Homo-oligomer: A and B are copies of this chain.
Amino acid sequence: MDAINIGLIGLGTVGTGVVKILRKNRDLLLKKLNVPLILKKVAYKNLSRPRTVDLSGIEITNAEEIINDPEINIVIELIGGYEPAKTYILTAIKKRKHVVTANKALLALYGEEIFKTAMEYGVDVAFEASVGGGIPLINGIKEGLVGNNILCMFGILNGTANYILTKMTKEGVAFKEALKEAQEKGFAEADPTFDIEGIDTAHKLTILLSLVYGIPINFEQIYIEGIGNIDPLDIQFAQEFGYRIKLLAVSRQTAKGIESRVHPTMIPIEHLLANVNGAYNALLVRGDAVGNILFYGLGAGMMPAGSAVVSDVVSLSRNLIKGITQRVPLLSYLPEKREKKPILSIDELICKYYFRFSAVDKPGVLSKISGILGNYDISIESVMQKGRKINGQVPIVMLTHEAKEANVKAALNEIEKIEVVKAKPVFIRIENDLRIE
């Protein structure tokens, strides 16, 4: 094999990063791989838009040309979204091209079809950049932790949401203001829905769950809550209780099923995950043999995501050079060994909770609230009733012992109806199973 020919579809942020790395570190790559990586063709929209990268020597064309070029060995899909990305990938696979993609939304929704097709046609599909950006965590899980039964995972997997929460925490600003600044600084897109509503994090968790438990890729089974309703007040109270609020992807094997959820979570302030700030991502994985492993780095961006794509390209090139494919099962488990497993409903969740009630400052209110909680088997660990009145009401804040989510919802529903309670009670789940020493 004289060269690996690559076709790149999409020249947005990540695509530009890939071109830059392949150019800048060409000599370095030739010291590690004895065949040159040739970026033969690039397809992108908006041909008139100025590009920030040198494309000399690369043929500018369209996606079909790339997919149909018999000389191209590896197709990199970086246009994002469902269509035409899905069609491009499936067609490339059927042309027996290996595929590298960073498209977590596509994999989370149509991954089963894509990987099944890849299995059928005997090609590789690599997706390191789809979760955790530049952090080599997909291959870390598939290969480095291969001998481990994964007990639980906790991930900060969306840099935009984490940037916003970090800003709200450090500067005490409201969600909207933090979002606006994130957008101005380029850390959030014009339409940030997927990021702030937890959908992007859930896409990533969907992929991880399949790798870790060998279950089908199924986005629908993830419980999702975003960060749009987080009040600076709750961040402040969390701090007083020794917690920080992060948008966390959580998965845990329990006797009743696998927990799979994305929501704002209070985590102990001294924990490493609580100190993953700004646009950084991190994934804590607990294996039955290895214990706690933390992967940390930039979860997005031109060069970090580009680095992950390049690592996939090199890995597939090594297979091409050796004349093999699918050396590692694409989704970690052998296709015939993948199977459905029960997923725990969020109502079955048992954890500690943070509550905040806005109540008129009258004697007996706390007794009424705690009475209802008691009826639902929810016991209180600590209460904070601060004097600062907000709109004539005082916030009553409490942490509970472990309680069942269904009971929590029923109790809060009942409490909301008490006359002196003036707003919908706020509740945030607490994660205490993070201890790493």
Contacts and interface: CB of A to CB of B under 8 A. Distances in A.
Interface of A: 17, 20-22, 24-25, 28-34, 128, 134-136, 139-140, 143-149, 214, 270, 272, 275, 277-280, 282, 287-298, 301, 303-304, 306-308, 310-311, 314-315, 318-319, 322-324, 327-329, 332-334, 337, 436-437
Given A146-B310, A328-B318, A334 B34 contact: yes
A278 B304 CA distance: 30
Contacts of A298: 290-292
Contacts of A144: 128, 135-136, 139-140, 308, 311
Given A143-B311, A147-B25, A31 B136 contact: no
Contact of A291 (B288, B303, B310): B303
B314 A290 contact: no
A390 to B, nearest CB: 31
Contacts of A139: 139-140, 143-144
A110 to B, nearest CB: 24
9 contacts: A136-B143, A145-B311, A146-B310, A282-B294, A290-B297, A290-B303, A291-B298, A294-B295, A294-B296
B436 A25 contact: no
Contact of A307 (B22, B277, B290): B290
Contact of A334 (B31, B275, B277, B279): B31
Given A275-B272, A322-B322, A147 B337 contact: no
B324 A289 contact: no
Nearest to A17: B289
A324 B323 CA distance: 9
B289 A21 contact: yes
B29 A147 contact: yes
Given A31-B334, A147-B28, A307-B147, A134 B328 contact: no
A147 B21 contact: yes
Given A280-B436, A296-B294, A148 B289 contact: no
Nearest to A318: B327
Given A29-B146, A140-B144, A324-B322, A291 B304 contact: yes
